[in-house]
Chains A and B, each alone.
Chain A
Amino acid sequence: MIEFSNYDILRNLLFATQWTILLSLAAFIGGTTVALTLTAMRLTRNPVMQRIVKIYVELFQGTPLLMQMFLCFFGLSMLGYEISAWGAAILSLTFFTSAFLVEIWRGCIDTLPKGQWEASRCLGLSFLQTLRHIILPQAIRVATAPTVGFSVQVIKGTALASVIGFVELTKVGTMLNNATFEPFKIFTLVALIYFMLCYPLSLYSKHLEKKFNVSR
């Protein structure tokens, strides 16, 4: 049997943290891209498009992320689509992230007075021009704080990828636990590493919120 020193444990956990960060980034980028598309669909004010976005949000906010991962990983491969744990994790986290970001951004865009759309219309701006020059610059300022805040949820969400066998921080934690039988130490370390990843983002989000409220 291999002996694990504290140094070995920490080294392995930190190595696995890289995968947690990478998965978080991939999910966040994927989620943002999909959420942007969905937000654009919603802003077209086409009832069919809006309905699709609504159902999408309802589906992915109303079911557990774990179930989405199982469906993407076990479900899709049973249907004949070969998918790796990495692929399934990114896919399901993208669904999850985008469903929440669309709702967050919707709130941000809706806080802007409707009169601005009408005023831009009167000034002869097209829909895209209004979006580009009037709505987005303001909406982005409002949306930054909650979006950064939500990135914490994405990082925490990646922990579930351990269940489908993707080797990231939580998975390495359970594997080390199985080898060393020191659950207290290992899960404390795992939790601390997550905390160190998430807490700065939480603080930054709070800071942005304060800054925004002052400038308003």
Chain B
Amino acid sequence: MLYFSDLLQYSDVFLSGLKTTVELTVLTTILGVVLGTVCATVRQYGNRASQRVVSVYVELIRNTPFIVQLFFIFFGLPAIGVMLSPWEASMIALTINLGAYSTEIIRAGLASISKGQIEAAKVLGLNFRQTLTRVIFIPAFEKIYPALTSQCIIVMLGSAVISQISVQDLTYAANLVQSRNFRAFESYFVTALMYLGLSILLRFAFNALGKRLFAYRTSN
């Protein structure tokens, strides 16, 4: 038998967990995409050595599990003198993780901009920074926007793992509630639905944001 009503008295536990998950997601999405943009630009237009450094970073992160990265940062780094709170460690791990994936995605966008456009910008007297911000970035981001946003959602879902270093996120709330009332199925089921709602909501938000960001298409 299922007793979903047993969860009602813990609604504030779920809500505060949800709040932590949302906060971390918003923060790491912004930081991760910024990191990815910087790394992708270096990877595409930087010199040999810096390209190499970015490649190593991207491949290392993309080929190891997030939970190991998290454990390395939270348990491993204090051994060499870097002490981090669980919240800080999760934020750094999530940002680094999203940063690596978004580097790959954004770089594909940058590579899709034809050389002629960059040369045209040069001829028109734009310097490199102006070319980047006014000629390259917007169409590049528009091309990869769907891939980038789904990666952000994947990272949000992956953040469930941070409950393992006792960050009090949504998954932590689910674990706490089921340890109190032993309603494991109900607790995890409701939490899974909350994550599902969150990912659907995020997709809507990203779509709305995309319409605003790339509005120049429809305005002319």
Binding site for B on A (CB under 8 A): 58-59, 61-68, 70-71, 74-79, 152, 155-160, 162-163, 170, 173-174, 177, 182-184, 186-188, 190-191, 194-195, 198-199, 202
Contacts and interface: CB of A to CB of B under 8 A. Distances in A.
A191 B62 CA distance: 11
B182 A78 contact: yes
Given A66-B161, A183-B76, A198 B64 contact: yes
A194 B174 CA distance: 29
A19 B81 CA distance: 33
A182 B72 CA distance: 11
A202 B175 CA distance: 34
Given A63-B199, A159-B68, 17 more contacts: A61-B199, A62-B153, A64-B158, A64-B159, A65-B160, A66-B161, A70-B174, A71-B185, A71-B188, A75-B184, A156-B64, A156-B65, A160-B161, A183-B76, A191-B64, A191-B68, A194-B63
B141 interface: no
Contacts of B153: 62
A64 B160 contact: yes
B10 interface: no
B59 A199 contact: yes
Contact of B185 (A62, A74, A157): A74
Contact of A173 (B60, B71, B182): B71
B79 interface: yes
Nearest to A58: B196
Contacts, number: 131
A66 B189 contact: no
27 contacts: A61-B199, A62-B157, A62-B195, A63-B157, A63-B195, A65-B157, A66-B160, A67-B174, A67-B188, A70-B171, A70-B184, A74-B184, A74-B188, A75-B184, A77-B184, A155-B65, A156-B64, A160-B67, A170-B71, A173-B68, A182-B79, A184-B77, A187-B72, A195-B63, A198-B64, A199-B63, A202-B63
Given A67-B160, A202-B63, A191 B72 contact: yes
Interface of B: 59-60, 62-69, 71-72, 75-80, 153, 157-161, 163-164, 171, 174-175, 178, 182-185, 188-189, 191-193, 195-196, 199-200
A183 B185 contact: no
Contact of B75 (A74, A78, A157, A177): A177
A interface majority secondary structure: helix
Contacts of A187: 68, 71-72, 75-76
A170 B77 contact: no
A64 B195 contact: yes
Contact of B65 (A64, A76, A174, A194): A194
Select the residue from B65, B71, B160 with max chain A CB neighbours within 10 A.
B65
A75 B68 contact: no
A47 to B, nearest CB: 22
A63 B170 CA distance: 12
A191 B69 contact: yes
A68 B189 CA distance: 9
